[in-house]
Amino acid sequence: MPDTPRLRRSPAPRPKTGIVHLGPGAFFRAFCGTYTADAMQAGGGDWGVCAVSLRSPSVRDQLGPQDCAYTSVMLGPEGPKDTVVEVINSVLVAPENPNAVLVAMADPAVKIVSMTITEKGYCHNPATGDLRADHPDIIHDLANPDAPRSALGFLVLALARRRIAGHPPFTVLPCDNLPDNGALTRKVVLAFARQVSPDLADWIAQYGAFPSTMVDRITPATTDADIDALAARQGYLDRACVMHEPFRQWVIEDTFVGSLRPGWDTAGAQFVTDVAAFESMKLRCLNGAHSALAYLGYLAGFETISQSVADEGFARFIRALWTQEVLPTIPPPEGTDLASYCDDLNLRFANPAIQHRTWQIAMDGSQKVPQRLLGTIADCLEAGRAFPCLALAVAGWMRYVQGVDEKGAVIDVRDPLAQQLKAAADTEDQVTGLLAVRDVFDPALAQNPEFSRAVKDAYAMLMSEGAMAAVRKAVL
């Protein structure tokens, strides 16, 4: 719509910047951004956001002509609800000026650096949680302390500047789907910091804070059709608009440097002493089911999650995965009924207004499968419980990463280990080849005969009968 005017920011005074956020993609704007805007509306405070893109200038280019305002579009069964969000003050593109990012993070007015950088952004081994010292970005950042590339490099080198200037550290707030994400972030940050200076690592360990979080809001990718539909409704063009479901949940460990944080609880967030139970519930129930539906649904020809669960066989499969395999491994969080939680998940998955593509969820599976599926399988093995649905989900991932679907069409596999996975599967026994990839499979699990047999049997059924039939047979 070339004649449609761009969205304009209101003339209202903007808050001072108190947060730097790394990775201002759609999820940040639909989730953290809306929570922060709602919290400031309820209780004030200077919690404006300096958004930092670590790779591409696309978000800056979308937001710049709109003075960083954007529209949050809630997609409910009753129709879309549009809200303009004005929480972002500026957008920096790290590769263009890494020093500007370090200066922003070192500013003592900044109390929190939050992150939505996806699992692969932590430069860790998903099977162990250790820093990958051989990661190209880590090697680069240690050799170029004034021009880092990775989130870890920016965090550590900005913290070093704050220490030299006599300022307290900022709180590091990870908002990605990783188990115990605060502890994991602390571990890799300290490992990187020790390579820079043992004294710096000790200072971060003593004075820093890394709260764990659980984040939950389904956020499908915005399409040109979404942008056009918003323009038709509101009369303005917003290339930075984000689509999301009505539901949102943010559980945050209440551990912040100097107890300085926005009043996110006034917007519905939960501050708790231990996030683990909420995190396990979400990762295993929602994210685990999402990954199972993504790989098997894609192979069966379904483009979206809602299409997948509309199929009777897939609906029975995901219900069996939850009730028979996943829920027995989860301690219920206080005040939460797990069966009701899964009932609600089923309704969210089936929401026809949310066109969440199976291909989108399937991205970066090597980083997701260990947390979403393999941990649950390990618990099933320890308890002596069968796990046919989870085994089929792993087999679906193995089939998917080989890059050819059931009709012989090429799959666009987006994964940091894509080439390694394809090479590992290029053997007569594809399952054994992939189980040997230690960046995904812990050797103790990979060498467990019951596990390998279950995955090999599921994979054989998948290859011989196809995903649609395999899903139905898994719950017979």
Residue range 141-189, pLDDT digits in tens? 999 999 999 999 999 999 999 999 999 999 999 999 998 999 999 999 9
Domain ranges of the chain: 17-272, 276-474
Assess whether pLDDT exceeds 70 at residue 1.
Answer: no
Calculate the CA 434 to chain-centre distance: 24
In terms of pLDDT, which residue wins out, 398 or 355?
398
Q: Which pLDDT tens digit goes with each residue over 376-425?
A: 999 999 999 999 999 999 999 999 999 999 999 999 999 999 999 999 99
Q: Which pLDDT tens digit goes with each residue over 227-264?
A: 999 999 999 999 999 999 999 999 999 999 999 999 99
CA dihedral for 353, 296, 374, 450, sign (positive or negative): positive
Domains 17-272 and 276-474 share a fold: no
What does the pLDDT average to over 301-314?
96
What does the pLDDT average to over 437-446?
95
The CATH fold assigned to 17-272 is Rossmann fold (3.40.50)
Q: Which pLDDT tens digit goes with each residue over 82-92?
A: 999 999 999 99
Give the pLDDT band (50/70/90) at residue 277.
Answer: very high
Q: Two tokens at 250?
A: 């943010």
Q: Two tokens at 457?
A: 């049997």
Assess whether pLDDT exceeds 90 at residue 3.
Answer: no
121 touches 23 (CB < 8 A): yes
Contacts 24+ apart (CB under 8 A), 255-260: 255/182, 255/209, 255/210, 255/211, 256/111, 256/112, 256/171, 256/209, 256/211, 257/111, 257/168, 257/169, 257/170, 257/171, 257/207, 257/208, 257/209, 258/111, 258/168, 260/111, 260/112, 260/171
Q: Give 384: exposed, middle or buried? Use CB within 10 Å, 0-12, 13-18, 19+.
A: exposed
CATH second-level architecture of 276-474?
Answer: Orthogonal Bundle (1.10)
SS3 label, residue 187? helix
What does the pLDDT average to over 37-61?
97
pLDDT score at 127? 86
